[in-house]
Amino acid sequence: MPKPIYVLNGPNLNLLGVREPHIYGKTTLDQVGALCEARAGALGYTVVFRQTNAEGVLVDWVQEARTEASAVVINPAGYGHTSVAVLDALKALTIPIVECHLSHLATRESFRQKTYVSLAASGLVAGFGAKSYELAIEAAVDLIGKASA
């Protein structure tokens, strides 16, 4: 069995389904986790699905993924726009990194249109609501296959 795909979520994503549903949708974080598990399972992988509001915890999980994961799918939420610490942790990884966002960043406020995470990520999936996570899992599996080929 391959190492799991880490799906890491940043601040306020625990409020999915409640916070600004007109932007982020009505799907809850638990439902997103179930979608990720199902999609990864269909592709032969498991997921470690986590959410934190604490920047240092997110950094710790990224560092853990260095040796424990096949790939990282990360929705850094607000930390994507502010955290050099998360970027530096991601830059230490040699496994695929897929950045994931529910909303389409290019259509949001100017401060949300760029992320530090993008500087370390292999790719970005954004704007498809909860489906963004499923697409990000698919992209991660594809990148894992390319890395091992």
Catalytic annotation present for 101: yes
Question: Which carries the bigger pLDDT value, residue 123 or residue 103?
Answer: 123
Element (H, E) at 72: strand 71-75
Question: Which carries the bigger pLDDT value, residue 10 or residue 1?
Answer: 10
CATH number, domain with residue 26: 3.40.50.9100
Catalytic annotation present for 6: no
- pTM for the structure as a whole: 0.92
Catalytic residue among 6, 45, 79, 101: 101
> What pLDDT shows up at residue 109?
59
Confidence of residue 149 (pLDDT cuts 50, 70, 90): low
Catalytic residue among 6, 24, 79, 116: 24
What span, in angstroms and rounded, lies between the C-alpha atoms of 63 and 74? 13
**77-96 pLDDT, tens per residue?**
888 888 899 999 999 999 99
Going by C-alpha positions, the residue among 74, 71, 76 that lies closest to residue 45 is: 71
Domain residue limits at 14: 5-148
Give 16's DSSP letter: T
Residue 19: count other Cβ atoms within 10 Å of its Cβ: 11
What φ, ψ does residue 96 adopt, rounded to 5°?
-60, 145
- Over residues 125-147, the mean pLDDT reads 94
Give the total number of structural domains in the chain.
Answer: 1
**51-65 pLDDT, tens per residue?**
999 999 999 999 999
